[in-house]
């Protein structure tokens, strides 16, 4: 995503960078796939540079083979048909309205009446080939933008039926910011892997396919923290410190599997704590933090980044640098600040992960700087880049940086109750998400 964004810095349409990217795209089907969608998104959503991207996109398509063009045509047909359904749905159900009882049957009937390809490569991951749509498993999600929950058949290379492909189709949201954050998470994960740190991240598929249109991969066997808490005590489940622990144990009743899930929880929690702090990700309520039945904790919905926190009446809702609530600490055996091996492991892994990212500060800052002209709402000025530099403690010595992140953990531990209070308000008010 950064490479196409860098094209905006070139003085002419025909540049060495443009030719290099076209050659790379033509030499690799995977690179070409994403190159197509990045350019197509900018053609529809970048008024100042649309001509440039259109010329480069045409040059790429003229060099593609017939099979590649046919595959891209199917994907475009899919996006156009789903956009039509999403638009019609919003005419009937306004954004701020609750879903009527017949919402599911309504969207299923619309899907029956549009022309969809019988098979296609998923735009967010060309390694996944989806088949025909499973109408009976499709629905409208009860969030603000009324996204579509869609499922498609799937076959492996031998023709054996696999688990259905799940896609959330969003119409009305600019997913470029989510794309950027997920791609940065992939880069962070590669940095950690180089340092022998496997933090069990889940960088799910996400791609913008047009102006305020895009797709998100559905992560199977995962549920929101809010759903787990409601199952324990309704809205007051936000204050039940044992809710998450009890839920995971119910999913992993074999002792050995439970301890494996606990290890996964600790490492993934550490990874996302470090990542969300460095990237300044805000609006971290319990509906955009999820957990799998195998213990993977992961974050979704990155609408607020680089310290641009959500505010109510001019007051920031964020009280902590990242989410480390009492129920997370309870999972690690950290109750009333007593010592715990799991909590100590969490701290050790977090420090290693943080220090590893600091050693690649120049890379991260450069990547975000290249994206400043893309029109992403919360990456538009030097203040946003300065947040990243401050979070990474650029210019500080290692000992100072080490103490700095330990202090962030302490702040989260002391103010975790404020996050729980926000989560309770979120559930009580039934706030719809984007």
Per residue in 293-331, pLDDT (tens digit) is: 999 999 999 988 988 876 655 556 678 999 999 999 999
Which residue did the predictor score with more confidence, 399 or 4?
399
Percentage of residues in the chain having pLDDT higher than 90: 66
By three-state DSSP, how is residue 292 classified? strand
Residue for token pair 């700087």: 369
If you average pLDDT over every residue of the chain, what do you get?
90
* Least confident span in 206-210, 215-219, 344-348, 368-372: 368-372
> Which of 249, 233, 227, 231 has its CA nearest to residue 330?
249
433 pLDDT above the threshold of 60: no
Structure tokens at 320: 């902590």
Integer-rounded Cα radius of gyration of the chain: 22
Q: What is the pLDDT of residue 310?
A: 67
pLDDT at 375 over 50: yes
**Positions of E strands within 172-274:** 206-210, 213-217, 222-224
State both tokens at 158. 């031998």
| C-alpha to C-alpha distance for 14 and 35, rounded to whole angstroms | 16
Q: In Å, how far are 41, 175, 406 from 45, measured between CA atoms?
A: 6, 11, 42
The 10s digit of each residue's pLDDT in 70-88 is: 999 999 999 999 999 999 9
pLDDT-derived band at 434 (thresholds 50, 70, 90) equals: very low
How high is the pLDDT of residue 236? 82
**H and E: helices and strands count for the chain:** 15, 12
pLDDT tens for each residue of 21-41:
999 999 999 999 999 999 998
Full set of structural domains in the chain with CATH: 2-64 (1.25.40.70), 69-172 (3.30.1010.10), 220-429 (1.10.1070.11)
- Give the pTM: 0.90
Q: How far apart are alpha carbons 261 and 254 in whole angstroms? A: 11
Structure-token pair, residue 237: 């489940």
Give the whole-angstrom CA distance, residue 246 versus residue 407.
29
**Percentage with pLDDT > 70 across the chain:** 95
């Amino acid at each position: 995503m950064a490479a196409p964004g860098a094209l905006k810095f070139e003085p002419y349409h025909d540049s060495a960078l443009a030719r290099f990217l076209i050659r790379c795209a033509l030499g690799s089907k995977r690179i070409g796939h994403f190159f197509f969608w990045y350019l197509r998104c900018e053609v529809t959503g970048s008024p100042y540079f649309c001509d440039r991207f259109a010329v480069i996109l045409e040059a790429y398509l003229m060099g593609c083979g017939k099979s590649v063009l046919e595959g891209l045509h199917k994907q475009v047909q899919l996006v156009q048909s789903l956009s039509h359904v999403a638009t019609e749905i919003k005419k009937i159900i306004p954004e701020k309205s609750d879903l009527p009882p017949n919402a599911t049957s309504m969207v299923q009937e619309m899907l029956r009446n549009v022309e969809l390809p019988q098979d296609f490569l998923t735009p967010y991951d060309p390694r996944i080939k989806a088949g025909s749509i499973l109408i009976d498993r499709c629905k409208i999600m009860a969030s603000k933008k009324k996204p579509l929950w869609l499922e498609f058949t799937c076959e492996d290379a031998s023709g054996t039926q696999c688990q259905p492909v799940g896609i959330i189709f969003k119409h009305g949201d600019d997913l470029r910011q989510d794309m950027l954050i997920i791609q940065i998470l992939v880069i962070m994960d590669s940095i950690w892997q180089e340092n022998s740190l496997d933090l069990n991240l889940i960088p799910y598929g996400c791609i913008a396919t047009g102006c305020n249109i895009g797709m998100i991969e559905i992560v199977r066997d995962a549920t929101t923290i809010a759903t787990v808490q409601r199952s324990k005590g309704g809205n007051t489940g936000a204050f039940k410190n044992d809710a998450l622990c009890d839920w995971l144990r119910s999913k992993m009743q074999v002792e050995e599997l439970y301890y494996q899930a606990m290890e996964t929880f600790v490492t993934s929690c550490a990874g996302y704590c470090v990542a969300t702090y460095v990237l300044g990700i805000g609006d971290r309520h319990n509906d955009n933090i999820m957990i799998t039945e195998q213990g993977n904790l992961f974050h979704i919905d990155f609408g607020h980044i680089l310290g641009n926190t959500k505010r109510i009446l001019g007051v920031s809702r964020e009280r902590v640098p990242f989410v480390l609530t009492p129920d997370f600490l309870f999972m690690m055996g950290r109750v009333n600040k007593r010592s715990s091996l799991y909590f100590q492991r969490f701290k050790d892994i977090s420090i290693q992960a943080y220090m590893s990212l600091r050693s690649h500060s120049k890379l991260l800052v450069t990547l975000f700087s290249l994206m400043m002209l893309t029109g992403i709402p919360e990456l538009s000025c030097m203040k946003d880049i300065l947040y990243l530099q401050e979070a990474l403690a650029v210019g500080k010595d290692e000992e100072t940086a080490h103490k700095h992140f330990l202090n962030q953990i302490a702040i989260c531990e002391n103010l975790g109750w404020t996050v729980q209070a926000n989560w309770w308000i979120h559930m009580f008010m039934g706030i719809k998400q984007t």
